[in-house]
Amino acid sequence: MEAVGDQGVRMTSWMNVREELYPGGFFEKILVRKLVCEMSSEKLDSLDQFRKNALGHKYGLNTLKIAFGGMSFVDEHDGKHSDIEKGRKFFCSELVAKAYKALGVIKDPKKRSCCNFYPGTFAPREFGGDIDNIMAPQ
């Protein structure tokens, strides 16, 4: 699953991503970090519900969202992170953070908004990332 500027949230096969991976292509490099957590059937059901709810939502990233996103809304809907409010837009790392919250692996006492997660957030701690506890080493 990915959030793409012109197509929004969609399912993409790894083969399609690999076809676009070349110098001058849509991707020149891709970094993959494995999520490390116990996958119970409850977590998988929550992730699947999130996937169903997220597909078709539009892509959205702008300075107001970045600057005020954490203050403009509560990042849960009736306490279930798999629920998504109508009209919500996602950018790439925001979608990943929301999926991780649906899985219950991001437990943020400050209720950090998903739009305050960036690609670097998922980097190893020595490179400035801040969620190493759930990511496999590179």
Q: Which residue has 């992730």 as its token pair?
A: 47
Q: What does the pLDDT look like over 40-98, one tens digit per residue?
A: 999 999 999 999 999 999 999 988 777 766 543 444 444 567 789 899 999 999 999 99
pTM of the predicted structure, to 2 decimals? 0.81
What domain count does the chain have? Answer: 1
- In 3D space, the residue among 37, 30, 41, 9 whose CA is nearest the CA of residue 100 turns out to be 37
Closest-CA residue to 69 (of 49, 48, 98, 106): 98
Hey, which residues does 3 pair with through a beta bridge? 9
Full domain range(s) for residue 38: 2-134
